Amino acid sequence: MLTIVLFGPPGAGKGTQAVRLAEKYKLMHLSTGDIFRANIKGGTELGKLAKSYMDKGDLVPDEVTIKMLESEVNRSSNAQCFIFDGFPRTTAQAQTLDTFLAGKNISITLTLALEVDEEELTRRIILRGKESGRADDQDENIVRNRVKEYNNKTAPLKDFYSKQGKLKNIPGVGSIDDIFEKLCFEIDKMKE
Ligand code: ADP
């Protein structure tokens, strides 16, 4: 059974690669960013709350994010294999995820960390903002704050997974196909 965490700073290409990996390895794809955006679109209470943080480029509080993620996993009760995209983003989220999955006899197989330098990230995000209209991608101050949040709260998770022997760093520059191939190589190696 395969469960992957796709890890990396905003704009690293997690979403693009997660969709492809989910298809190839038959994984249930859960993106916390996508779920929050769907809630915002639907005008739910959760969406309103999440929006107040996302608009500033801040992380949504752990308790809100964790509760939402757990209910999404529980909703897909048939799935045993997941790809988490944009989750966990804090040590508390990672610890809770381990415990929660253990209760379902699932464990994380591999954490794949996409590495892209800050200049390239900002360039990609601003471009994406122009194309998608995503509000948090269009304002340079918000983008900068998201990168700051990543460096402060999310990057330390590399240590967390490295200590568990589960971390693989993958260069996130090059063509989408090349990066995909590198990710698949690591997954296939792990599955053998
Ligand atoms: P990106 O990776 O480009 O930042 P996402 O769609 O993954 O885009 O996330 C958008 C925003 O959603 C984040 O800036 C944050 O406010 C919120 N968010 C997503 N996932 C989480 C999480 N696991 N914990 C807290 N906030 C989150």
Q: Which residues of the chain have pLDDT under 70?
A: none
Residue 102: domain span: 3-191
Count how many domains the chain has. 1
What are the DSSP E strand ranges found in the chain?
4-7, 28-31, 82-85, 110-115, 167-171
User: What's the 192 CA to ligand 1 centre distance in angstroms?
Assistant: 32
> pLDDT tens digits for 39-57?
999 999 999 999 999 999 9
User: What's the 82 CA to ligand 1 centre distance in angstroms?
Assistant: 18
> pLDDT tens digits for 147-172?
999 999 999 999 999 999 999 999 99
Residue 163: give its domain's CATH number.
3.40.50.300
Q: Enter the pTM of the model.
A: 0.94
* 50 to 40, 84, 88, 152: CA distances (angstroms): 8, 18, 16, 20
Give pLDDT, residue 134. 86
Residue 8 CA: which ligand 1 atom is closest? 2
Tokens of 92: 């508390």
Give pLDDT, residue 190. 87
130 catalytically annotated? no
The binding-site residues of ligand 1, defined as CB within 6 angstroms of any ligand atom, are: 10-11, 14, 32-33, 36, 53-54, 57-60, 65, 86-87, 89, 93, 136, 146
